Structure 1
């Protein structure tokens, strides 16, 4: 284990230990706070007795759940980021957040060291299943195999995946197309929205062409549009957005 890795591990742990509370911002929900701080709704409620979902008040202070220190992982032959995330009970988004500068489009090197996200310390009664609201477990298809150019941020609640114009865009999950239009007002250009029927929707924007019409039922992996640079865009890419019950969620948390 190198001195640089030990230093990174120590700084990560110190940062986690210092972040004991958080101030609720206008529009915050428990799900949004859980995603932002790498924990779960259940852990937030347990860390704040008396807190009820839907009663958050802007300016209020919430205690963040205690977390375990960051851990390390040495890449083995056959490892991929998605496989490591699944094996360690985390998400691709959390793994990328713990390793700034890691390019998800480049293959891992055997022997490469990665930081694993700290796991929330959740206490629960025996026999009670753990609810992981911040780690949505679904079978999803990556819409485009492109380069991640903009990660999920509070001011940009989506991910941008750069790919050549005309690259097929595939539906992440089965569902029904509820929007297929040119959205000049939002700056999304040609955009397409799929409702998956379980509270989740996925949006695909800046397309060069929409191939699925409103009302069309699509399957996971079905080509529904093509990459473009329409609307407010500086180059060909897909703006990929996911919401659960109206709350933005990092799309990479699905993989």
Structure 2
């Protein structure tokens, strides 16, 4: 069947202009889609000749998928695909970051637009610091970074190990009842960046201790102003809060 377009396509969608001799099949092959998908993307099509000069809306490409391989982690996949761990989790709402990935598991990759954002001054400064960071806890993201909550909350069972994101020196290891953070560890990384780990059930390092990336420094808890066991993970650069996921 040959069709002709009655109305315009979706606003903002990619379009193509029909050339003389074009058919739906030729257009589909040329643009990496199918005739059925073209028809679905253009509900105003009707039976008749496909007229030169008509503009057709191209169907949106399917979301890219990553098949998990041996040794893959969420952070590694996000870094390899040029996205963020937060965007990867958002594209896979049923994914439990606390559970290990399975070889052969299929993950939806976020579109480029999903991770594009206007960088704040703090983010720009963070980007200038070349880091290789360890995720302190492979927990479930319960609260994202925002202006009103300049940290991320990662839910995990009580006593789950909390690891230092980067090498540094412990400058605080105490119970912070004033701010509601409970047992807290603060690490200064010596290049303008600090990381804070709060609501711990136990702190395992003392002030002045030198820690390495991945070293266990605390245990997940629910101390201070908390509604359940989780890690409040905060990053600052030159004193300005930065989204921790920007490190991964």
Q: TM-score range by the shorter chain?
A: 0.5 to 0.7
Q: How big is each residue's C-alpha offset from its partner over 1:137-159, in whole Å with a ceiling of 9 and x where there is no partner?
A: 42111212222222222211111
Q: Specify the SS of the correspondent of 1:201.
A: strand
- Relative to 1, partners in 2 of residues 1:251 and 1:174: Cα closer, same or farther, differing over 3 Å? same
Give the whole-Å Cα distance in 2 for the aligned partners of 1:132 and 1:71: 32
Q: 2:109 aligns with which of 105, 108, 114?
A: 114
Q: 1:243 aligns with which of 230, 233, 236?
A: 236
Pairs within 5 Å for 1:1-255? 72-78=63-69, 80-97=73-90, 103-105=96-98, 107=101, 110-118=105-113, 135=127, 137-255=130-248
Q: TM-score, normalised by structure 2?
A: 0.62
Structure possessing the higher relative contact order (Cα contacts under 8 Å, 6 or more residues apart): 1
Q: Is the 8 A contact 2:125 2:237 kept in 1?
A: no
Q: Is the 8 A contact 1:183 1:231 kept in 2?
A: yes
Give the whole-Å Cα distance in 1 for the aligned partners of 2:89 and 2:147: 16
Runs of 4+ off more than 6 Å = none
Which 5+ residue runs of structure 2 have no aligned equivalent?
1-9, 14-59, 118-122
Compute the RMSD of aligned alpha carbons: 3.2
Give the whole-Å Cα distance in 1 for the aligned partners of 2:88 and 2:106: 17
Give the whole-Å Cα distance in 2 for the aligned partners of 1:93 and 1:71: 21
Which 5+ residue runs of structure 1 have no aligned equivalent?
1-9, 15-68, 122-130
Q: Is the 8 A contact 2:163 2:213 kept in 1?
A: yes
Task: Count the aligned residue pairs.
Answer: 182
